[in-house]
Structure 1
Amino acid sequence: MSNLQAKIKTDSWINATWSEYIQITENSDYQKAKFYYNKGKFRIEMSPLGNDHASDHNIITYAINLYAVVKGINLNGKDNCTYRKTGYQDAQPDLSYYIEDTVDAVPYGTSIISLDEFSPPTLVVEIANSSLADDKGEKKNLYEDLQVKEYWIIDVNKLEIIAFAIENEGSHRIRESQVLPKLEIALLEEAIRKTRQTNHSKVGLWLLEQFQK
């Protein structure tokens, strides 16, 4: 384990056994890190998040919650929650949601959500700044394996959303959400662009007007 510890490079995928990975997650040096594991490789994210990442995280969270309220969609959302399939996969997406049939799948009092016991989240969202290439690559493979139904990548720099529907261990691009019916990805992209020009309250009011049409 000491050799692995010496070679750890954050924000990169590193080969390791599951037991080695778990030991790394318990290391106090990485208390503020995010962890991912997929079939013999792990990644530690320590990159500073910054204003743009935090702001886009906030407005997307607000937009998804508001849409669900206006449209009467049952939804439970989670920030930076750990999902674990013991021995095989681990993920801590920026945002994740259980929607409709699985809305109450995970009871309060649960710590790490074991996918050996509970169903995977319906929708996963990653806010991508420096991590964009990985979010489009290995993490997409990870979420396909975990069998989430939809995966969104928020590109902080290009102000766009790359959305995928996942089925049959694969995925394809979509421009309208399937798990939040009739929600157009372009509308959320416009909301993100508006945050570069005005505050979140005004963008939120604009979103409410759009969702009520």
Structure 2
Amino acid sequence: MITTPQLKTETWLNGSWEDYLKTLETLPDEKGKGYYYDHQYRIEMSPLGNNHASDHSLLNYIIHLYATLMGIELNGKDNCTFRKAQFREAQPDLAFYIGDNANIIPWGTTIINLDQYPAPNLVIEIANFSLADDLGKKRLLYEDLGVEEYWVVDVKEAEITAFNIQKQGSYRLNISQVLPNLELDLLRKALQKSRDTSHSQVGAWLLQQFQLS
């Protein structure tokens, strides 16, 4: 009987672009996401459980709420693929095109070709078991892709680490630059509140905070 080698996930593997694409073809639909950078690729499998899913949903909700209240043009992408063929690829948990770029990706686009379109203004990774990688190699990947701002959400600690990216370098932020005046500490408090209460109650609390600021 012929057996199929078990796919290695949650780690970076040496391989060519072609190796990476062949690996993607073996994944069940909607059951995994991939990253390619510096002649290595990484496959992460889903689902990732309640904790990851809850923080993912909450951050998506908060950002859309803030943009709506502040009149910021924004378009969100959930687990979308961003590709610079032969060189880099990423499938972040959340990505946002903001301001003048909000509607730059045409409806009907599947994989977003970064040779044709700009990178998203904001990318967010929700880290349950991948924190070191999200803060490390993925941050380098997003620097090279030309993302303006990158957030990593630490699910276990209800923490957010945010970076402003300039000239392929990244610098810690306390206040978002792409979502003006949004304080990261407020989002940390929202994450902490979500451990004991519903997202709708967190949203009501945030509405008060946004109106006071």
Q: TM-score, normalised by structure 2?
A: 0.95
Against the structure 1 CA distance between its residues 199 and 85, is the aligned structure 2 distance closer, same or farther, given a 3 Å change threshold? same
Instruction: Give the CA deviation at 1:28.
Output: 4.0
Percent of aligned positions with the same letter in both sequences? 54
**Structure 1 CA distance for aligned equivalents of residues 126 and 174 of structure 2:** 18
Q: Which has the higher contact order (CA 8 A, sep 6+)?
A: 1
* Long gaps (5+) in structure 1: none
**Structure 1 CA distance for aligned equivalents of residues 134 and 33 of structure 2:** 13
**Structure 1 CA distance for aligned equivalents of residues 31 and 55 of structure 2:** 20
Q: Are 1:143 and 2:117 counterparts?
A: no
**Structure 2 CA distance for aligned equivalents of residues 139 and 28 of structure 1:** 21
* 1:19-45 Cα shifts (integer Å, max 9, x gaps): 111111111457511100002100000
* Long gaps (5+) in structure 2: none
**Paired residue secondary structure (2:196):** coil
Give the counterpart letter for 1:24 in structure 2: T
Against the structure 1 CA distance between its residues 7 and 202, is the aligned structure 2 distance closer, same or farther, given a 3 Å change threshold? closer
* 1:68-118 Cα shifts (integer Å, max 9, x gaps): 011100000010000000000010000000000211110001000000110
**Structure 2 CA distance for aligned equivalents of residues 6 and 15 of structure 1:** 16
- 8 Å Cα contact 1:36/1:91 also seen in 2: yes
Moved more, 96-105 or 5-14: 5-14
**Structure 1 CA distance for aligned equivalents of residues 101 and 197 of structure 2:** 36
**Structure 2 CA distance for aligned equivalents of residues 25 and 43 of structure 1:** 10
The Cα RMSD (Å) is 1.3
Q: Are 1:99 and 2:103 counterparts?
A: no
Could you say which residue in structure 1 is the equivalent of 2:65?
66
Q: Are 1:165 and 2:164 counterparts?
A: yes
- 8 Å Cα contact 1:128/1:154 also seen in 2: yes
Against the structure 1 CA distance between its residues 47 and 96, is the aligned structure 2 distance closer, same or farther, given a 3 Å change threshold? same
Could you say which residue in structure 1 is the equivalent of 2:196?
197
- 8 Å Cα contact 1:8/1:14 also seen in 2: no
Could you say which residue in structure 2 is the equivalent of 1:210?
209
Which contiguous aligned blocks of 4+ residues in structure 1 show a shift greater than 6 angstroms? none
**Structure 2 CA distance for aligned equivalents of residues 66 and 85 of structure 1:** 31
